[in-house]
A and B are shown apart, each in its own frame.
Chain A
């Protein structure tokens, strides 16, 4: 699924310059527990989380994830955005809760 479609489906805001509408994500992980994310082995993945701290970006970077969606209207601070810019990870924010966001993406074909 292209990131452009993720943005459309989740009514998401784009929060940094690493977003590219043609970036392809092949799988997604919805989780607030970073150790569970680290146990999740998929390529070109999207992380959806309600947790907002620098470890979210570091975890996504270690797992070579392409983008992070902060759910429930969470807005990351400058430090987190800077870290994501350094790592080349797109940062999005949606008002939808985690369960809803995952359900929408799953039903639209992002089911790995």
Chain B
């Protein structure tokens, strides 16, 4: 299989549709015959990132590249940026609103979960400009 690329635009206006892009990626990975446990790792990591983009950054763009060796995800937003990445990576730390918490998120587990489920994660952020998160999940496609 050659590499397969897909791009998703994340709507930052409507929390109820947050996660749709991750569902779509899951279907793509299933159609490509990726191992279900690898699919779970990649789509949970992307889902947490997608939720973050809606909660904190008014949406953004996610690019996914799937090769026989890996699933490569780039999440780009034009949100406020992350002032302290180490603090943001701390389990339980969150700047989400009470409204978001009532919806079952904003518990400070998003970034830690993303790191947990991926083989590589790198955060590039600039205050007032935006954040890019690159994640890789290694795979083995049939």
Contacts and interface: CB of A to CB of B under 8 A. Distances in A.
Nearest to A57: B19
Contact of B47 (A54, A62, A64): A62
B113 A35 contact: yes
A24 interface: no
Contacts of A32: 104
A42 to B, nearest CB: 11
Given A58-B22, A61-B26, A38 B47 contact: yes
A38 B44 CA distance: 7
Residue among B19, B40, B113 with the highest chain A CB neighbour number at 10 A: B19
A35 B52 CA distance: 11
Given A53-B103, A62-B22, A62-B43, A35 B36 contact: no
A55 interface: yes
B40 A63 contact: yes
B109 A62 contact: no
Contact of B16 (A35, A53, A64, A87): A53
Determine chain A's interface SS by DSSP, over half rule: helix
A56 B47 contact: no
A64 B48 contact: no
A51 interface: yes
A24 B103 CA distance: 29
Contact of B107 (A35, A64, A79): A35
A64 B116 contact: no
Interface of B: 15-20, 22-23, 26, 36, 40, 43-44, 47-48, 51, 103-110, 112-113, 116
Interface of A: 32-36, 38-39, 51, 53-56, 58-59, 61-64, 79, 87
Question: Would you list the 5 A-B pairs with minimal beta carbon distance, nearest first?
Answer: A35-B109, A58-B19, A34-B104, A35-B107, A51-B104
10 contacts: A33-B105, A33-B107, A35-B109, A35-B110, A55-B104, A56-B104, A58-B18, A59-B19, A62-B19, A79-B16
